[in-house]
Amino acid sequence: MLHAPRTASILESVVLLADTARFRTDDPDALVRASLACPICLCSDELEWHAALDGYDPSVECRCPRCEESWRVYLEPQQALRLSLMGAD
């Protein structure tokens, strides 16, 4: 009799954190950054993020250097535009 390897313990440790952005397009940069804050420790100052704004589901992949957690924040098209303009003068 053949048995499949136990993958339940492996699958239990994989948790995908996802959220939706909660900022308006006219919010200041500080509030936009705060909306991407770490869901575990609420850190937003040293956040590392990479925007994937093209395609059907624009999102931002975030990583917290403090607690080493990673998550994805999904954006509406207007929010994606606002995020892409952050830092532009």
In Å, what is the CA distance from 55 to each residue of 37, 62, 76, 78? 23, 18, 12, 14
pLDDT in tens, 49-83: 888 888 888 999 999 999 999 999 999 999 999 98
pLDDT in tens, 3-56: 555 555 555 555 678 899 999 999 999 999 899 999 899 888 888 988 888 888
Q: Has residue 6 been placed in a domain?
A: no
CA atoms within 13 A on the CB side of 13: 3
Q: Has residue 68 been placed in a domain?
A: yes
Q: Has residue 8 been placed in a domain?
A: no
- How many domains is the chain partitioned into structurally? 1
Q: Has residue 12 been placed in a domain?
A: no
**pLDDT at position 77:** 92
Range of the domain at 81: 18-85
Q: Has residue 5 been placed in a domain?
A: no
Q: Has residue 9 been placed in a domain?
A: no
Q: Has residue 65 been placed in a domain?
A: yes
The CA distance from 41 to 37, in Å, is 8
